Structure 1
């Protein structure tokens, strides 16, 4: 009873200022759905389809790849739904890894979240925005990077202002984004003239085996981001089970929309036309509406990028906050601003690191490609470990109440782990030097982990900084 009272009192925010506040249930289910759809339904659907078409042999196989991507994402979502509904926490995967695999993997994941995964994703999206905005209003040789930096600063400021401002911005952008994608489908299915049948003979009966791996890397990159809802699990109103169904419904909706968009691309451009297109959405709109269609799609892509970037900014800082609550080296990140109901310090640090990555992209002059190479292998490595965590926690904590249980256990999480291993291999084989850079940054986390352990041992017993907020739980005692 005392423990329940202590937990309840810890969730009551102080009257004002930045103090020992904590996340509180303030997000509606509609906010959760908007965030999930907004993250997943990003700029990738306007860029990746031509890359997927180039790695598949026909329109049918291309659509199959997109369907498999949706199914794979749903399998992963089932695993995350059990974890998020059973252990709702601002740390998301950090919390699950800590419970299942211990301090080391959790520390490395939190370091990756701080330096590679969400920061690289935000920078990637900001560069896409900069590329299209520069076509409308160029700002010089570094125009794309200037726009990207402005996006990072602006969205960080919106979310520092408060959770309400961040979610309202997200809901508005998501609504505009969905309407725009539906308009793209209408243009391709009803307005654009049907593409003529391909007259080029097929040169190979089956594409190389590695092509499917590369195609799935692009497909799953486009579906990526649905796992971010785990970081909001402690802030969602209603029952824990409703969070799981909101996640599954969001992914089902996005999968159907992605398939519809690709059918529209196929009808308007044909498989060969998609394969040879540098901007597949712009080419389709040009066939349907002329020059005005190209301008319209540029605005749509800008909105889509802002939608995904804002959602990633909002959720990305949650892990940094949880990490700071459990770390000696990064203790300053573990502060929750009660009035704004947001991790202000974590947001500011995340913004600063993202700006540094924007600078790196500006130097290489290949911002989008650099960020894809930088983030993909690290992302899939920890996806794999999260699937392993579900299996471990089922064995270690069998009696823990689970509002949502993954169906067909253990087959479903085993399929998810196998999928993650396959895409991890494919991403390393494709990205090459960029992957090594991301893995090298992750490797520096091992050095920091050693320093963290050493400093924790030197911290006096009883000090608040020595408290481990997310301890590795022991097997429950049997009741006699």
Structure 2
């Protein structure tokens, strides 16, 4: 299936940058630095893991830039996997996005938003769940109304998000009392480094969402690479500065022991008003990431509906507003149902990492492999951008993905098994879609 003709390019470079930055800089930067610090042997290693995370992301971005500019399509990874490996793998990826990766990310972000919003104004026993459900419903509604309203909401939230983090960096570097020199936790094994990278790359995760807006980006042949490089450069700089501020104010041991890094740092810098500022910042940050994740997630669902009759209702593009309204609505309903489930069974940030990480890295690895397959199979296709130093750069990306898949499986527990089980639940659905297709062919 080619690029859908009814989709018009409506996004500029800075719209794409706002989406990518919004997806990537989420709740993770307030949660994972302490986990990384707990698995780093010293401050230098801790900072190097964040720098390496940016480097891995740039390597991956070069691969995605070739795929997205050669095959601009709202399905993103789904379309690349479909062309390289066929409908079965593409279907399972789209199912994983719908049931594990994307909706799980939306709900995680919404719950973090609910936790911090409840610090400002509590709504009763189920305050976090109420805030989470309302946020998902409102942001889904905004995106259903049209891409213009959705993208401007994203642009303003992303601007507020980056400004807030820059203020956090300023207060941490300029006003916080430097921490006393301490001995960092003794963790030097490669296993601990792998675990640290799981958390780092989780925090960087999301830049690949740019692939899902390739059909809506003006002059995608030039602007896709620009959007990715600008976004990852900004994110890497912000992450490094945030961690330098944390290290200066709390020290590596203090970071590893802290349950609320940013709040602790701001209390030290400016007192209790600092904790209120952090709550507001996290509220804005999680809203920004939730909106961006809702925006991009619906594009895969739309591609799924276009190709498989069982999900035909998802493949409707609303011309007025230029948005996949049905895909957005179904995604929102599933996410709200997960909020209801999470009210009873929610186990926090690390459990969601367990649930999503192995499935995510498995399909990330397959996307990297698809570049090799499509280079060989589609030799006649013009490629506006080619990965430099091919095949070494994409091979390096695949090696990192395989390492992260192994690390996520080695670290995670029951949550990973649940995520894999939900992925495998898509196999019977795939069989049903094939039966429906065969039946339709026989009738014709």
Interval of TM-score (by shorter of Structure 1 and Structure 2)? over 0.9
Q: Which residue of 2 aligns with 1:67?
A: 51
SS at match of 1:64: helix
Give the one of 439, 443, 453 matched to 2:434.
453
Whole-angstrom distance in 1 between the partners of 2:220 and 2:180: 52
Q: Which residue of 1 aligns with 2:156?
A: 172
SS at match of 2:16: helix
1:96 partnered with 2:80: yes
Deviations 1:279-330 (Å, cap 9, x if unpaired)?
A: 1011111111100011001100110001111000011000100110000110
Q: CA deviation at 1:241?
A: 2.1
- Higher relative helix content: 2
1:134 partnered with 2:115: no
SS at match of 1:330: helix
Give the one of 18, 33, 37 matched to 2:21.
37
C-alpha contact (below 8 Å) 2:185/2:253 kept by paired residues:
no
C-alpha contact (below 8 Å) 1:335/1:345 kept by paired residues:
yes
Whole-angstrom distance in 2 between the partners of 1:363 and 1:322: 32
Matches within 5 A, 1:224-373: 224-373=205-354
SS at match of 1:139: coil
Give the one of 196, 215, 220 matched to 1:215.
196
Where in structure 1 do 4 or more consecutive aligned residues deviate above 4 Å?
none
Whole-angstrom distance in 2 between the partners of 1:265 and 1:111: 39
Q: CA deviation at 1:25?
A: 0.7
Considering only CA atoms, is the larger Rg found in Structure 1 or Structure 2?
1
Whole-angstrom distance in 1 between the partners of 2:365 and 2:27: 25
Deviations 1:421-441 (Å, cap 9, x if unpaired)?
A: 111111122221101111101
1:51 partnered with 2:28: no
Matches within 5 A, 1:186-205: 186-198=170-182, 200=183, 204=186
Whole-angstrom distance in 1 between the partners of 2:115 and 2:301: 29
Whole-angstrom distance in 2 between the partners of 1:358 and 1:135: 19
Deviations 1:207-232 (Å, cap 9, x if unpaired)?
A: 22211111111101100110111110
Whole-angstrom distance in 2 between the partners of 1:37 and 1:118: 16
C-alpha contact (below 8 Å) 1:132/1:298 kept by paired residues:
yes
Q: CA deviation at 1:238?
A: 2.0
Whole-angstrom distance in 2 between the partners of 1:303 and 1:203: 33
Deviations 1:6-28 (Å, cap 9, x if unpaired)?
A: x89x63xxxxxxxxxx3211111
Whole-angstrom distance in 2 between the partners of 1:360 and 1:408: 47
C-alpha contact (below 8 Å) 1:361/1:368 kept by paired residues:
no
SS at match of 1:459: helix
Indicate the larger mover: 334-343 or 427-436.
427-436
C-alpha contact (below 8 Å) 1:127/1:368 kept by paired residues:
no
Q: Which residue of 2 aligns with 1:436?
A: 417
C-alpha contact (below 8 Å) 1:40/1:308 kept by paired residues:
yes
Q: Which residue of 2 aligns with 1:82?
A: 66
Distance 1:118 1:405, change over 3 A: same
Q: CA deviation at 1:96?
A: 0.2
Q: Which residue of 2 aligns with 1:120?
A: 104
Indicate the larger mover: 54-63 or 355-364.
355-364
C-alpha contact (below 8 Å) 2:361/2:405 kept by paired residues:
yes
Q: CA deviation at 1:462?
A: 9.3
Deviations 1:348-407 (Å, cap 9, x if unpaired)?
A: 100111112212221124243332222111111100000010010111112211111111
C-alpha contact (below 8 Å) 2:306/2:315 kept by paired residues:
yes
C-alpha contact (below 8 Å) 1:192/1:287 kept by paired residues:
yes
Q: Which residue of 2 aligns with 1:421?
A: 402
**What is the TM-score when the length of structure 2 is the normalising length?**
0.97
Whole-angstrom distance in 1 between the partners of 2:343 and 2:28: 20
C-alpha contact (below 8 Å) 2:13/2:226 kept by paired residues:
no
Whole-angstrom distance in 2 between the partners of 1:384 and 1:209: 21
Whole-angstrom distance in 2 between the partners of 1:358 and 1:413: 37
**What is the TM-score when the length of structure 1 is the normalising length?**
0.90
Whole-angstrom distance in 1 between the partners of 2:305 and 2:346: 34
Matches within 5 A, 1:384-423: 384-423=365-404
Give the unaligned 5+ runs of structure 1: 1-6, 12-21, 464-480
Whole-angstrom distance in 2 between the partners of 1:25 and 1:360: 37
Whole-angstrom distance in 2 between the partners of 1:347 and 1:203: 45
SS at match of 2:310: coil
Indicate the larger mover: 351-360 or 176-185.
351-360
Q: Which residue of 1 aligns with 2:166?
A: 182
Deviations 1:24-73 (Å, cap 9, x if unpaired)?
A: 11111110111111111112111110110001011110001101111111
Give the one of 89, 114, 124 matched to 1:105.
89
